[in-house]
Amino acid sequence: MEILSDFSLEQMGFRLTPLPGGSGEGKFHYAGCLDSAELEAVISMDDVFAEHSRNIAERLLHQSVRGNTEIMGIINMTPDSFYSGSRYLNDPDGMREVILNSDIVDVGGESTRPGSEAVPIDVEIERVKGALRLIRDYGDINISLDTMHPEVVEAALRYDINYINDVTGFRNEKMVKLASDEHLGCIVMHMRGTPSTMMSFTRYDDIISEVVEFLSSRARTLLKAGIPLGNIVVDPGIGFAKDYAGNMDILRNIRSFSFGFRTLVGHSRKSFIGTLIGDNRADRLAATLSVSLYLKNRGVDIIRVHDPLAHRHLFRTFSSLTE
């Protein structure tokens, strides 16, 4: 398995064998062996994680044989989200296509694109209500609410939402309590700063270990608040306080973020893809699909995408050919 980075491994006292192929010049993957009992013992050194050591160890040791990757379709009830094709304020027909082809539908009423500004709470609430109502008309579909505001979650509870998708990583204690009291799934994302300032904070000494450290710390807080391990999903936050090199390092080492919790990646049509294909004006769907298939093959549990139907076709075709 991939375990953090050379710096983190040295700090932890591991003597592992470097293998070529790590991300970036002078970097390596590392190989080492721990059996189930040894791994459980390491995990049990933390007083909060100890209670879950068996489940975490099982997930780490079998991360390459997990179940199907779920498709999270994006519905932005905003006029300014970075991809215009995901704006559904006045497009119920477009929303239906997302709803019918997603395993989870992620609804947001406030843009978090780089440089975006906050909107009043009452405006955000009013924006998401129409989408939530429409989704519930289709029945028992998993709903994720993309918000950093507990007040918006409280207003959405009547629609039986299933997840809170919090780009601030549940740093608000009221959000943690809401998730615990209402038995909601928690999508914990890494970000520095705020959406309006985050691109000023893209410099890291060791991006993999720093993001893992943040996510594991937040997961620890949620477990301590009584939220079940199975309700926690970690998201390294592609594009949130990361430049092109940082995004690529995270993707190349994506298994480093599978440290006992389900994983989510939101890469769809983002600017790093324009840089990757060498044309920021080009349509980014084909490259997004390529990244999605890579993530599926690396065991990522949920991908958050703008084009769920295309992904449904992609996964169905790939599975048919590889079964």
pLDDT at position 23, please?
47
Average pLDDT, integer, range 254-274:
95
Other beta carbons within 10 angstroms of residue 50's beta carbon come to 14
**Backbone angles phi and psi of 76, in degrees to 5:** -100, 115
270 is an active site residue: yes
> Greater confidence, 45 or 63?
45
pLDDT digits (tens, 9 = 90+) for 60-80: 777 655 568 999 999 999 887
Fill in the amino acid letter for 266: G
Average pLDDT, integer, range 225-229:
96
Domain that holds residue 20: 1-33
160 in the same domain as 297: yes
Distance linking the first and last C-alpha atoms of the chain: 24
262's enclosing H/E stretch is strand 262-265
180 in the same domain as 133: yes
> Greater confidence, 210 or 19?
210
- As a residue count, the chain comes to 323
pLDDT at position 8, please?
47
We report the CATH number of the domain holding residue 193 as: 3.20.20.20
**Bridge-partner residues for 304, per DSSP?**
72
Average pLDDT, integer, range 12-41:
59
Residue 232 pLDDT level (bands cut at 50, 70, 90): very high
**Which one, of 226, 183, 175, 221, lies nearest residue 46 by Cα?**
221
> What are the tokens at 71?
């498709």
The percent of residues in the chain predicted with pLDDT above 70, rounded, is 88
Q: Which of 172-176, 216-220, 228-232, 277-281 is the least confident region? A: 277-281
224 in the same domain as 144: yes
160 in the same domain as 38: no
Q: Which of 33-37, 47-51, 146-150 is the least confident region? A: 33-37
39 in the same domain as 81: no
> Greater confidence, 280 or 312?
312
pLDDT at position 101, please?
96
Helix ranges (DSSP H) in the chain: 6-12, 36-43, 53-61, 92-100, 121-137, 150-156, 173-181, 207-224, 244-252, 271-277, 285-297, 308-322
246 in the same domain as 183: yes
236 in the same domain as 285: yes
pLDDT at position 67, please?
61
**Of the listed 59, 255, 262, 304, which one is catalytic?**
304
pLDDT at position 61, please?
77
311 in the same domain as 168: yes
pLDDT at position 19, please?
53
Torsion of CA 301, 39, 212, 60, to 10 degrees: -10
**Of the listed 255, 270, 296, 298, which one is catalytic?**
270
Q: Could you give the number of structural domains in the chain?
A: 3
What is the CA angle 99-272-185, rounded to 5?
40
152 in the same domain as 15: no
pLDDT at position 245, please?
97
pLDDT at position 244, please?
97
pLDDT digits (tens, 9 = 90+) for 103-152: 999 999 998 888 778 889 999 999 999 999 999 999 899 999 999 999 99
Residue 89 pLDDT level (bands cut at 50, 70, 90): confident
**Which one, of 144, 126, 146, 124, lies nearest residue 135 by Cα?**
144
> Greater confidence, 31 or 142?
142
Q: What is the pTM of this model?
A: 0.87
pLDDT at position 160, please?
97
177 is an active site residue: no
Average pLDDT, the chain: 88
118 in the same domain as 262: yes
Dist. CA 96–CA 284, nearest whole Å: 22
**Which one, of 181, 122, 133, lies nearest residue 158 by Cα?**
133
117 in the same domain as 41: no
pLDDT at position 62, please?
73
Average pLDDT, integer, range 204-224:
96
177 in the same domain as 231: yes
